[in-house]
Amino acid sequence: MSSQALAFTHRFEPGAADLSPLLLLHGTGGDESDLLPLGRAVAPGAALLSPRGPVSENGAPRFFRRLAEGVFDEADLRRRTEDLADFVAAARDRYGLPAPVALGFSNGANIAAAMLMQRPETLAGAVLIRPMVPFAVPPRADLGGRPVLVLSGVMDPIVPVENARRLAAQLTAAGAAVEHRVLPAGHGLSQAEIGLSADWIRTLPRPALA
């Protein structure tokens, strides 16, 4: 199903009511179709909500502006995080969904991390693939035990493992139940992501049926 009526161009695939929906958040230059195959592979039968990043960087869609690689426009990030969280709330109403688990890659993982800190009620949990610290000074959040899987690459030329460790520590300090795995990988998505994410998602509590 494709839709433009909500504030973000997105794709939605309905799924089983007793599985957490996935909010798929692509990397720079991706779009709303990019992560659908990954979503289907890691959470078979789950509903998939996949927005397109509304910012264009020389034609490459992103979820927020950056000033240089790894240097974020934090005012824009804060505003775009609000917009995305509002979109998720509207899409939940429209499609009758419980809070989703984010599955974000790179730029998508970074806005998912920002949303955990700025609008924690939006997500039931998150898989963050190659994320980095989004805010120099993170907002105070109470993540109330929300499960978060962080997947880093030891050879990632964009995100040093130390940076991902700092993010994991910030999320833990905010009360998330964080598992951080460092893989023998670079910045790109690897096969390992599929198995690790699928195994982790299977351990999540199922949403209460309405």
Q: Write out the catalytic residue numbers.
A: 106, 156, 187
- Partner residues linked to 176 by β-bridges: none
Q: Look at residue 26 and give its three-state secondary structure.
A: coil
- Provide, rounded to whole angstroms, the least separation between the CB of residue 55 and ligand MLT: 10
Nearer to ligand MLT, 19 or 151 (CB): 151
Site string for ligand MLT, 56-85 (x = CB under 6 A): ----------x-------------------
Tell me if 107 contacts ligand MLT by CB under 6 A.
Answer: yes
Contact 85, 115 (CB under 8 A): yes
Tell me if 170 contacts ligand MLT by CB under 6 A.
Answer: no
The torsion angles phi and psi of 137, rounded to 5 degrees, stand at -120, 105
Tell me if 27 contacts ligand MLT by CB under 6 A.
Answer: yes
Nearer to ligand MLT, 2 or 33 (CB): 33
Contact 154, 161 (CB under 8 A): yes
Tell me if 152 contacts ligand MLT by CB under 6 A.
Answer: no
Which segment (1-9, 78-86, 105-113, 194-202) binds ligand MLT by CB under 6 A? 105-113
Which segment (40-48, 103-111, 169-177, 195-203) binds ligand MLT by CB under 6 A? 103-111
- Provide, rounded to whole angstroms, the least separation between the CB of residue 188 and ligand MLT: 10
Output the CA torsion sign for 144, 145, 151, 154.
positive
Interface with ligand MLT: number of residues (CB under 6 A): 7
Q: Determine whether 76 is exposed, middle or buried from the number of CB atoms within 10 Å of its CB (0-12, 13-18, 19+).
A: middle
Closest among 124, 122, 131 to 101, alpha carbons compared: 124
Number of CB atoms found within 10 A of residue 38's CB: 22
Residues in the chain: 210
Q: Where does this chain bind ligand MLT (CB under 6 A)?
A: 27-28, 66, 106-107, 110, 158
